[in-house]
Structure 1
Amino acid sequence: MSNDMIRNVEAEQSVLGSIIQEGDLIKDCQLKVK
């Protein structure tokens, strides 16, 4: 794999990670509201 491809994969993984964290935060908020 070229360095550019590795960088792209790492970037995608970090984006997915932040989206998952946001989803967890939203779930926590919804639970507290109920």
Structure 2
Amino acid sequence: MKFRNWFLLILLFLATGINAQIKNPVKFKFT
């Protein structure tokens, strides 16, 4: 269960990063 929760956190982090890159690619590059 812990591994599954960790995997979901990784997916959430990637999804947030992709959304940030699409909305503001310049800011994403400096982050």
Q: Same fold (TM over 0.5)?
A: yes
Q: TM-score range with shorter-chain normalisation?
A: 0.7 to 0.9
Aligned residues: 25
Of the two, which has the highest radius of gyration? 1
Root-mean-square deviation over aligned CA pairs:
0.8
User: Unpaired runs of 5+ in structure 2?
Assistant: 26-31
Highest relative contact order (Cα 8 Å, sep 6+), 1 or 2? 2
Q: TM-score, normalised by structure 1?
A: 0.68
Q: TM-score, normalised by structure 2?
A: 0.74
Amino-acid identity (%): 12
